[in-house]
């Protein structure tokens, strides 16, 4: 079982866990507890609860508290795009923002930062276009 902590900005690992959790939930018509999802994914329940709460805040999931509580999809898997899931997790910054961090605060660095910004925007747009074409249902 992994013990990764949810710290900093969301990343593709969290996205992968979110998508797998949604596939598990799509196969459960009733509420499914986070512990059961974590067991199936062999992941840390606390990490999954943090990820799932973000999805619930964006209207992708609904939650039920109590002994028979857990999570369930708020909409059909066909209506949940991977783009929507990624954007629900994304809090700040571009997907490949690290490339921008390599430029310095000098003339050449500022010039490269400007050039890199155009490329990063194209990458971001391309990622979102791909994710928009796929739904949770495609993965079931």
Asked if 90 contacts 10 with a C-beta cutoff of 8 angstroms, the reply is: yes
**Domains, the chain, with CATH or none:** 12-139 (1.10.10.10)
Tens digit of pLDDT for each residue in 115-139?
A: 999 998 888 888 889 999 999 999 9
Asked if 17 contacts 54 with a C-beta cutoff of 8 angstroms, the reply is: no
Residue 6, pLDDT above cutoff 80: no
> Which residue shows structure tokens 């512990």?
35
Helix ranges (H only) for the chain are 12-26, 34-41, 45-57, 82-89, 98-101, 107-132
pTM: 0.80
pLDDT grade for 29, boundaries at 50, 70 and 90: confident
Tens digit of pLDDT for each residue in 59-115?
A: 999 998 887 789 999 999 999 999 999 999 875 545 667 788 899 899 999 999 999
Tell me how far apart the alpha carbons of residues 64 and 76 are, in angstroms, rounded to a whole number: 18
């Amino acid at each position: 079982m992994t013990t990764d902590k949810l710290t900093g900005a969301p990343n593709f690992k969290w996205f992968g866990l979110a998508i797998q959790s949604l596939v598990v939930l799509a196969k459960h018509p009733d509420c499914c507890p986070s512990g059961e999802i974590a067991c199936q994914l062999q992941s840390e329940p606390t990490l999954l609860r943090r990820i799932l709460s973000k999805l619930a805040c964006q209207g992708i999931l609904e939650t039920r508290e109590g002994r028979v509580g857990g999570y369930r999809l708020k909409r059909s898997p066909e209506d949940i795009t991977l783009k929507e899931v990624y954007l629900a997790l994304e809090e700040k910054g571009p997907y490949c923002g690290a490339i921008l961090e390599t430029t310095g605060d000098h003339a050449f660095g500022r010039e490269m930062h400007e050039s890199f910004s155009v490329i990063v925007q194209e990458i971001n747009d391309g990622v979102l276009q791909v994710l928009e074409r796929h739904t949770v249902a495609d993965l079931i």
